[in-house]
Amino acid sequence: MDFNERLHNVDGQEKKWLPSKLFLKQLFISVGVWNMLFLGGMCMGTPTVLIPQLRRDANSTDAVDDETASWLYSVFGTCTLPWVVITLLFTQYFGRRWPVIISVFTIFLVFLFMSLSSNAKQILVAEIMEGCFLSCCLTVCVIILSEYTIPKYRGIFLCFKSSSFFWGIWIANIIGTFFHWRNIPILGMIVCFYSLTAFFWPESPHWLASKGRFEECKASYRWLHGCGVESERDLAILIKRQTDYLNIRAEKRKSFYYSQYTSKEFYKPLFLIILAVTQYHFSGNCGPMIMTTSVYGEVIPLKHKTSMFLVAILLFETYNAILLKNAPKLFKNLGFHETKDKTLQQIEQDFEEKSRAPTPSIDETELFIAKQTNK
């Protein structure tokens, strides 16, 4: 793909960009991101159907004990935490595309390893290896959608990002309900290939501008946003702001970072991020998730993107790790029981107090029904 397309036609007139062409370019990149979130949802949804199948195949609950089951459900948050730091630092210095490419190759190998696993311990190792990919989904994917898309389409693309994750969970549950769980990683390996189109994406113009690579920034920005008057004005503002930022950082190297991290443009978005993450985890609905995604992608200044994403995702995954790991013990202590594959009557009996009469046997139930019929 040529990222240095001409700005004018042969006759000297400004080159016109069809809205459909711009939309398709941004859709091409966004689908790759949605695809990654879909794979992330499949990873999160797999334990729900995998654990019951492992126990059923072994004809014993000992195949996956309660402690191992709790780790299978919650290890995502714990294993992602160190990778968030690594991924964001890599993104800061090497751009947005390469973390995507590396993480896609990683999740392909994880799915391959999982499809060959034969017990819960091996599957747990595979889930630990998913940390690299999930950290990319939580950080780089949001950055890409916010930096590559124009404001007109950004809201749509960000909403589909959130939806794709839950579609992945749903598909994993559908496959695990009607087929063997090994079909989930097999599908994952197939789906991985589309996200490798990242090889053909331009680098983020915002990242290029932050590194002072302004000619490459212009080519990338015009490929993504077109060459209209409004786009050219926004490009000029981006370059001007980053030029000023780089000059100030060079002149005031010692006091620069202190002044930046104590300014309102740093701690105000940081407060919004903490509020959005907290609301997401304690509200239990997808509205705050969409709002949280918008906050991540839109209100964070370019120069603070790495540090703020680091704080946001570390907070997000710490919540995830704590809540998911302790949820089974909490439910058990509160008297809640497993509801999967149980009828409403069985669930109701589980919640009945021990002081009540014991559940009648099948023979007693049939005898009672016969007596009622003969009356």
For residue 302, the model assigns a pLDDT of 62
pLDDT value, residue 294 = 54
Among candidate residues 98, 157, 165, the one with its CA nearest the CA of residue 138: 165
Mean pLDDT for back-to-back runs of 10 residues, the chain (375 residues) = 44 53 89 94 89 84 79 81 87 91 94 90 89 88 87 80 88 92 94 93 92 91 86 89 80 58 65 67 53 57 65 68 66 63 61 55 66 66
Cα 46 to its chain centre, rounded Å, is 15
pTM recorded for the entire structure:
0.74
pLDDT of 1 reads 41
Q: What is the pLDDT of residue 167?
A: 93
**Buried/exposed code over 317-338 (b: 16+ C-beta within 10 A; e: otherwise):** bbbbbeebbeebeeeeeeeeee
What was the pLDDT predicted at 102?
94
Inter-residue contact 192 to 108 (CB < 8 Å): yes
Radius of gyration for the chain, computed over Cα atoms and rounded to the nearest angstrom: 26
Give whole-number Cα distances, 22 to 16, 90, 150, 223, 226, in Å. Answer: 11, 29, 9, 8, 7
Q: How many C-beta atoms surround the C-beta of residue 88 within 10 A? A: 25
Domain spans of the chain? Answer: 21-201+252-333
Contacts of 52 (CB under 8 A, 6+ apart): 340, 341
CATH topology of domain 21-201+252-333: Growth Hormone; Chain: A; (1.20.1250)
Q: What's residue 76's pLDDT? A: 79
